Amino acid sequence: MSSIACDERCASRAAITISLIPIFDCILNQLNTAFGASLGGMSPLQATRGSLLLVFMGICTWTIVRNPRKLLSAPLPVLAGVALIALAISKEISQTGSISLSGIVPYGQFLYWLLLWMSAVFLCSSKEDALAILKGLAIGSVMTAASVFLGLALGTGNFYSGDAVKASAGWFETAKMITGVLTTGGVILLYLGQQRQGWMYPILACLNFSACILTYARAGTVAMVVALVWLFVWLCLWGHESRRSGIKFVVLCTAIGIVAMAMMSPAQVLSRWNDMEDGGGAGSGRATFWKIAIDDFYQADVLDQVAGRGYASMSTMLFQKYGDDIKHTHNDGLDMLLVGGLTGCFWLFLFVLDLSAKILRRPISSKTTAAAIAILLIYLCHGQLTGQIWGTDAMSYYTLALASLCMIDDLPVLKQATELAHSVDLTNIRHPYPIT
């Protein structure tokens, strides 16, 4: 049994290392944008993530080789997602005869967060491991929020200057991905602070949510409002014993409103949202290119409708028919419909269904369940309004946060895990991804 204990200690250290990834990713992401360096045609960020992807492959392979039964504990969407990527790449190669480095990058980004998710599930062996990952995500999100406020003060990172608004995404490449980081991090901070007396966690959560508003990314604002409304409903219906948390939540929402009113003028807000009645231009053109995507799917042959046409073909079609290099449809459902066909749509349904099933294994009155539902709602809003699956940042946050929350109530504390390792087979411990 000593070898089992040793394996658990190694896994625990690796899980803590994974918790540092969101922090270093936040730093490297901004340095990459600020300096625009290149390493053999790849940015330092792409090179780092490519190296980490190999590490995640090694972790997953090593874990399964050491204990083949662990494969049964892997999240089903990860296994199905890997198969979907293989199908899309093979379909693309069969149609064009080759695939370029730029063409492989989106699939690499997709694979990155899938394998990071599976690595976290394999390596978390105690409650402390899950908490470490949540804290790492929280710290990374607060650093992101600080970058937004600093960027706003210095006048950098305004992706919506054409709408006559004063916005900022800090030193990040895009605003639409960091709002997923900010809102998810805000919910994690509220969860981590719900058993603490002080106000530090709610204040940091307010910083995150306020930064989300100040990016002026509309999908992020919608996701934030939906998550906060859900948490308010949960407090009213099931949080009667959390009077202190309820007071903090009301103060939090009030503070967010004050910050928004102090830093945003009604004219700027209206300017950002005034295209909603612009017919085909509504939603920054989504009303047009979403229709183009749907029409293209219906006009495709049966094989493309079932198995998709690949990412590069989707991007080329959108550029030819829409006239702007938007790369993808900004909607996860439509992206999967074009890239993977009905097979891709089935994978997306499986992904959401699997997360929902894991979350709802616990009573809805649980604070852990409330936080997990809020994060799932944040993903659903972002995924359908701006598209997320090709972005490593936000998808890593959603999946790591939900995996940790789904495991945290079932995992033993570190001391108990060590004692159990000396007396029983740890694979018999109840786990949210059952091992049979």
pLDDT in tens, 62-104: 999 988 888 888 999 999 999 999 998 888 888 777 777 767 8
Instruction: Locate the domains of the chain by residue range.
Output: 2-135+216-223+235-243+269-281+313-396+405-428
Residue 215, pLDDT > 60, answer yes
**3-state SS assignment for residue 91:** helix
- How many Å separate Cα 82 from the centre of its chain? 17
In percent, how much of the chain has pLDDT > 90? 44
Alpha-helix runs per DSSP H in 264-391: 266-273, 286-299, 302-307, 311-322, 332-339, 341-359, 367-385
- How many Å separate Cα 255 from the centre of its chain? 26
Interatomic CA distance for residues 63 and 74, integer angstroms: 11
User: With bands split at pLDDT 50, 70 and 90, how would you rate the model's confidence at 420?
Assistant: very low
Predicted TM-score (pTM) of this structure: 0.90
Name the residue with tokens 């960020």. 45
Interatomic CA distance for residues 114 and 92, integer angstroms: 21
Interatomic CA distance for residues 247 and 179, integer angstroms: 25
Backbone angles phi, psi at 233, to 5 degrees: -60, -40
DSSP string, 234-283: HHHHT-TT-HHHHHHHHHHHHHHHHHHHHH--HHHHHHHHGGGGSGGGTT
pLDDT at 426: 43
pLDDT in tens, 147-167: 999 999 898 888 887 777 888
Interatomic CA distance for residues 305 and 297, integer angstroms: 6
Interatomic CA distance for residues 50 and 112, integer angstroms: 8
Q: How many helices (H) and strands (E) does the chain have?
A: 18, 0
- Counting Cα atoms < 13 Å in the Cβ hemisphere of 233 gives 11
pLDDT at 148: 93
Q: Torsion angle of alpha carbons 400, 401, 403, 404, nearest 10°?
A: 110
pLDDT at 417: 46
